Amino acid sequence: MRTPAPLPNGLRQAVGLHDFTTWKVGGPAAWFAEPADASALAGLLHWARESGQALHCIGAGSNLLIADAGLAGLTLCLRRLQGSRIDSGEGWVEAQAGEPIPTLARKAAKAGLSGLEWAVGIPGTVGGAAVMNAGAQGGCTAEWLHSVLVLDPSRPERDPFEISARELDFDYRHSRLQQEDLLVVSARFRLDPGHDPAEVSARTSANLHSRTSTQPYQQPSCGSVFRNPEPQKAGRLIEGLGLKGLRIGGAEVSPIHANFIVNTGTATADDIDHLIRAVQERVAASHAIQLHPEVKRLGFARPQPSA
């Protein structure tokens, strides 16, 4: 008989994932861990492979809808893998996957590096930003990312290897990493050096202010739910149909910004999922436009509503 693999430090069972998503919904992870360094991460990946556990990776959970039934296997939250190194002379910035992207934007600004001013209002991690090609206010990750270091969970004994930004097939809110089971452990950016730190910091703060004054930052959400069906804006289409304030259970189309669905306090993942479908159906019926969700769903038995 095969001896079960010993449990690594920090591994927990039946951990509610609502605490790890910005929508504040999601059932329990069968197994859960938040490794704080590379060796803890390697131990967890070995354990998952040896014990045949499915693997899910989350960053800050700010673009994730996790099912109420929760997730089988091991959920790894990488938000504790924090830290960065900045070369203000040459503009190189290297950050761990769990570093909050707004923190990195602030640090870069203080070092007189321009490039990440748009990132200050995006409540995700560096890893999540690379995977999603996060962007705002005219800027995006793909413009400034040089490369990522990744781990292949199916071969945890292999050292992390580099993938250049060119090879990541970046597109609007898309990268090749969304189709591959690789873990981003760190990222390198090449920013524009030699700027006045006060000016870069002022632009960064102005960007944050313009977002918090037009978007519902006080309520749990995942930011924009739908990709913009260019040249149209998803929010304008939804608002034009009078859907602001539409509710299913505790989920509501935000009265402040129609492309946000907020948790009014009692929402379940099912409520949110049903509201996403209801909005899609109304927009398709009125405009013959299929809205595609930007958010990623995990753990649902029914298929993604036209991702």
Ligand X SMILES: Cc1cc2nc3c(=O)[nH]c(=O)nc-3n(C[C@H](O)[C@H](O)[C@H](O)COP(=O)(O)OP(=O)(O)OC[C@H]3O[C@@H](n4cnc5c(N)ncnc54)[C@H](O)[C@@H]3O)c2cc1C
Residue 204 interacts with ligand X (CB under 6 A)?
A: no
Residue 134 interacts with ligand X (CB under 6 A)?
A: yes
Residue 70 interacts with ligand X (CB under 6 A)?
A: no
The footprint of ligand X on this chain (CB under 6 A) covers a number of residues equal to: 30
Minimum separation from the CB atom of position 54 to ligand X (A): 12
Neighbouring C-alpha atoms within 13 Å toward the C-beta of 27: 13
Residue 129 interacts with ligand X (CB under 6 A)?
A: yes
The C-alpha atoms of residue 169 and residue 14 are separated, in whole angstroms, by: 36
Annotated catalytic residue 294:
yes
**Annotated catalytic residue within 114, 224, 252, 297:** 224
Residue 55 interacts with ligand X (CB under 6 A)?
A: no
- Residue 24 corresponds to which tokens in the numbers above? 């504040």
Helix (H) or strand (E) holding 261: strand 261-263
- Residue 160 zone, left/alpha/beta (φ > 0; ψ -120 to 50; rest): beta
Residue 125 interacts with ligand X (CB under 6 A)?
A: yes
Q: Which stretch binds ligand X (CB under 6 A): 40-48, 124-132, 194-202, 225-233?
A: 124-132
Burial-class residue 249 by CB neighbours within 10 Å (0-12, 13-18, 19+): middle
Q: Kindly tell me which of 132 and 208 has the beta carbon lying closer to ligand X.
A: 132
Residue 92 interacts with ligand X (CB under 6 A)?
A: no
Residue 122 interacts with ligand X (CB under 6 A)?
A: yes
Annotated catalytic residue 224:
yes
Counting every residue written for the chain, the total comes to 307
Q: Kindly tell me which of 59 and 156 has the beta carbon lying closer to ligand X.
A: 59
Q: Which stretch binds ligand X (CB under 6 A): 25-33, 51-59, 154-162, 236-244?
A: 51-59
Cα-based distances in Å from 32 to 55, 58, 299: 10, 11, 15
Q: Kindly tell me which of 191 and 298 has the beta carbon lying closer to ligand X.
A: 298
Do 150 and 185 contact (CB within 8 A), yes or no? yes
- Mask: binding to ligand X, 208-237, rule CB under 6 A, as x and -? ---------x---xxx--------------
- The string of DSSP codes covering 275-298 is HHHHHHHHHHHHH-----B-SEEE
- Known catalytic residues are 173, 224, 294
